[in-house]
Structure 1
């Protein structure tokens, strides 16, 4: 059985929904309690009024003859006042069939007080509401007609209006409170995204609830510690690269000045390989640096890098859309494409192809070779720093930093990196870069 889940909501939406539910629930309960209390008071008032009317009528009619009683009742029966009418007064009148909880309660109380069953009937006449009760006054049967013009069983409109205004005010105040509560968390979420892209976010202000202030302070400490660690690592890698490059250059110069020997060529190749590894260390350190982004003609940059590799004997087919421009770091993008082409030349097979297209708000850059590619289960690991696939470990002279450098540069430009197996057997590294930067 598949369990259906509610759609994901933001904290602000959840707080607003919680407050609206709480306000509506409390207002509904308040209106219900007010309605119950109002019905109780009306029932109590009508109960006392009926008993007072009957007691007054018995006192006034006591000792009168039948004709005197009829004359007295005709004189005292007036609209909008309690009336005693003969039992035949209901002939041909239209009464409401339904009763209300209030009239039921009132009928039960009057039946107990008067010692006989009382059935209450309701009638509307010319917009006036009346309540008819069969009663005995001095052993004579009558209809007691009580006007209900002053009583209303429904909540008055002013109460409803006050409830709506109170609910609206409470919701507005709650919305402001919820926004103030969620705003620091939104800033924290944005800072986490910046940190995930390899950038150091600005320190978060310590505002909001105590727990949120503590969270912001700890995040600032963590961000500062990560920045310090990254800076020390960059300095270490840059210093190591600089310190190694000088003796490597000296060794290469000494070998070239010596007489030719069978091992000289291999030794020079090893020194060149070491120099490339040192350069990758330096590139990896610089890939963590953030520089201002500026408009960069990606088509021209791609053509320039491809031309440089072509001069070194790598045949590359270019399919470049003209005028593709992004807001980026030109030096970092050059390192990105250089690493992709170097990986294709080192681990792939010709033919090599570069495609550059514009897809909506993204520039799509694809580098394709026709080698064995990367197995699907190893692709995530291949993006990690210093990670080298088992097939090439110890045999290719690489450092395992090429794709790690590419990944960092892609993240800094708000892009994505995917591996694609082409239908013709080619293997493509596809990169989408946001044209507006990030």
Structure 2
């Protein structure tokens, strides 16, 4: 319960969390120990100094009381005042006394000094504290004996020195610790950047550094990245090799069948050959999606408008909603263009018309493609973006079998851009089929 309440106020980064773990206990211990030591130490010093002054005050009062007349009493008081380094005079009356409650709340030693004077000098009738000076009055035979002296005579006045020293040393060591902690976190930040870039299809130079555990994680990441790159390369070579090898016999079959144009069986076989060539094109598109393409600043609105115009030029019923301008994003233009083409082709394959729009929301640039086809059931969304998975019962098998790579190509293209592909049911009137959204981050997330 307490953790959930404090979670919104705690930092999310590892650096500041580690800083809190290190510095909060240390700062708490230093503060508690300092305050406890200052209170006990300076209370003892104040009691001892006040007790010594009570002896001096009692001696002065006794000497004044023992004088035979008022003039002698005043002379004795003045002489003893020079010996004890204070001012002593005999006055007729005393002003109203001050109490410990009249002092500021932070003057703990002053409060303690007044209490000790009241306890040690029963004859004291009044006492006043004015910053660094003290005046007290005691009853004698000849009136009120007024004693004026510095507050440092009965109280230790520099408890702040230890607090200041502790604070300065704590800040200095904390600064050194922050620098050391930041240096320890820097290798982890580099590892995170390299992993994030690899998730977007980029390979950043990275060398393991830092503590032993961070080096081990960095070495494991490099091995993993190498294995994934080798696997992708092997899969790409395998698919592209098979696809290219199949084109030669398919071309021979097409040439042979073209000589029998009048035969109905030949027309059916030519349709099968065309479908096989379309499947091969899909395989090649899938392998090209894994190839590295340099990232360049690209006008997303212009790219989408170009793909929609190209599809409309081929006689397809597709509309672009609005006239999008920008945003300018670091993209792989050819890879993203293939993803948009696949979505438009997928929409028109299962529907009669499609509409495309480009919007921005909450740090994302969104390309939306809607169709008026049968759509996909929500429980099949995850399966629909897997390679070589065909949802013929859900999308209509009569439209052609396909290779099950259209949405997989789009999903791979989005992952290489650090985005994602979202599927939903269209809510626009006359477009209640599949709604596919390409989510592209507009900033580092």
Is this a same-fold pair by TM over 0.5? yes
Deviation of the 1:343 alpha carbon: 1.0
Q: Aligned equivalents of 1:145 and 1:70: distance in 2?
A: 14
CA gap of 1:301–1:149, structure 2 versus 1, over 3 A, is closer
Q: Aligned equivalents of 1:90 and 1:385: distance in 2?
A: 108
The residue that corresponds to 1:138 in the other structure is none
> Which sits farther off after the overlay, 167-176 or 259-268?
259-268
- Asked if structure 2 preserves the Cα contact closer than 8 Å seen for 1:81 and 1:146, the reply is no
- Asked if structure 1 preserves the Cα contact closer than 8 Å seen for 2:197 and 2:204, the reply is no
Q: Aligned equivalents of 1:92 and 1:131: distance in 2?
A: 9
Determine if the alignment matches structure 1 residue 282 to structure 2 residue 284. yes
Deviation of the 1:254 alpha carbon: 2.9
**Where is the helix percentage greater, Structure 1 or Structure 2?**
2
The aligned runs of 1:213-252 (5 Å cut-off) are: 213-252=215-254
TM-score (norm 2): 0.75
Deviation of the 1:402 alpha carbon: 0.8
Q: 2:182 aligns with which of 164, 179, 184?
A: 179
Determine if the alignment matches structure 1 residue 430 to structure 2 residue 430. no
The residue that corresponds to 1:123 in the other structure is 128
- Asked if structure 1 preserves the Cα contact closer than 8 Å seen for 2:128 and 2:136, the reply is yes
- Asked if structure 1 preserves the Cα contact closer than 8 Å seen for 2:45 and 2:156, the reply is no
Q: Aligned equivalents of 1:209 and 1:120: distance in 2?
A: 71
- Asked if structure 2 preserves the Cα contact closer than 8 Å seen for 1:83 and 1:146, the reply is yes
Determine if the alignment matches structure 1 residue 188 to structure 2 residue 191. yes
Deviation of the 1:349 alpha carbon: 1.6
The residue that corresponds to 1:13 in the other structure is 16
The residue that corresponds to 2:48 in the other structure is 44
Q: 2:32 aligns with which of 19, 29, 34?
A: 29
CA gap of 1:349–1:394, structure 2 versus 1, over 3 A, is closer
> Which sits farther off after the overlay, 21-30 or 208-217?
21-30
- Asked if structure 2 preserves the Cα contact closer than 8 Å seen for 1:416 and 1:432, the reply is yes
Aligned length: 424
Q: Aligned equivalents of 1:418 and 1:409: distance in 2?
A: 13
> Which sits farther off after the overlay, 362-371 or 121-130?
121-130
Q: 2:388 aligns with which of 386, 389, 403?
A: 386
Q: Aligned equivalents of 1:407 and 1:261: distance in 2?
A: 42
Determine if the alignment matches structure 1 residue 78 to structure 2 residue 81. yes
The aligned runs of 1:31-430 (5 Å cut-off) are: 31-32=34-35, 33-48=37-52, 50-51=54-55, 70=73, 73-78=76-81, 81=85, 91-98=93-100, 102-103=112-113, 122-124=127-129, 128-130=133-135, 147-151=149-153, 152-197=155-200, 199-258=201-260, 260-296=262-298, 302=304, 305-306=307-308, 309-310=311-312, 313-319=315-321, 321=323, 324=326, 327-346=330-349, 348-356=350-358, 364-389=366-391, 391=393, 395=397, 396-419=400-423, 421-426=426-431, 427=433, 428-430=435-437
CA gap of 1:194–1:90, structure 2 versus 1, over 3 A, is farther
CA gap of 1:267–1:282, structure 2 versus 1, over 3 A, is same
Query: Structure 1 unaligned runs (5+)?
Result: 136-141
The one-character-per-residue Cα deviations of 1:350-391 (angstroms, maximum 9, x if unpaired) are 123334568898765433321122223322332233333252
Deviation of the 1:405 alpha carbon: 0.9
Deviation of the 1:436 alpha carbon: 8.9
Deviation of the 1:222 alpha carbon: 1.8
- Asked if structure 1 preserves the Cα contact closer than 8 Å seen for 2:138 and 2:145, the reply is yes
Q: Aligned equivalents of 2:100 and 2:366: distance in 1?
A: 75
Q: Aligned equivalents of 2:5 and 2:356: distance in 1?
A: 45
CA gap of 1:134–1:72, structure 2 versus 1, over 3 A, is same
- Asked if structure 1 preserves the Cα contact closer than 8 Å seen for 2:38 and 2:159, the reply is no
Q: Aligned equivalents of 1:293 and 1:437: distance in 2?
A: 15
Q: Secondary structure at the match of 1:150?
A: helix
Deviation of the 1:424 alpha carbon: 0.5
Query: Structure 2 unaligned runs (5+)?
Result: 102-109
- Asked if structure 2 preserves the Cα contact closer than 8 Å seen for 1:129 and 1:148, the reply is yes
- Asked if structure 1 preserves the Cα contact closer than 8 Å seen for 2:318 and 2:356, the reply is yes
- Asked if structure 2 preserves the Cα contact closer than 8 Å seen for 1:12 and 1:178, the reply is yes
